[in-house]
Amino acid sequence: MALNFRITAHQNPDNLHLRLDGDFDGSSAQELVNALEKRCRFSARAFIHTNGLRQVDPFGLSVFHANLHNLKQGKICRPLLFTGNHACELAPNGRKDSILS
């Protein structure tokens, strides 16, 4: 994992907010997937805030996008909403409002 990567989470029954800070590499991507698997099932929507990301590694993106399929299969996350400067980069198909169903 990038030494400076961190996920800050805030959750209520309606929404999960995950704020990403630091550099997004392959390990960081897996950490994000793990956080979604663990916490997303308890909220109706998940917001992924990307303004705190400094750098997004192409390998990190490929790890994240490859693992989104597993989230879909497990029906863990319904809407994933991406915000911030790197929203279109992280979102599948460049859509900030990605629905995994």
pLDDT of 47-87, one tens digit each?
A: 999 999 999 999 999 999 888 877 765 556 668 899 999 99
pTM for this predicted structure: 0.86
- Which residues, including other chains, have CB under 8 Å from residue 17's CB and lie 6 or more apart? 9, 10, 11, 46, 47, 49
End-to-end CA gap in the chain? 29
Whether 3 is covered by a domain: the verdict is no
Question: What is the rounded average pLDDT for all residues in the chain?
Answer: 85
- For residue 74, the SS3 value is coil
Whether 54 is covered by a domain: the verdict is yes
Domain extent at residue 27: 8-99
Q: Quick one: which of 78, 75, 9, 74 has its CA closest to 43?
A: 78
Task: Say whether pLDDT at 17 is over 80.
Answer: yes
Whether 1 is covered by a domain: the verdict is no
- CATH number for the domain that contains residue 27: 3.30.750.24
User: Helix H segments across 7-86?
Assistant: 26-39, 58-73
| Domain count along the chain | 1
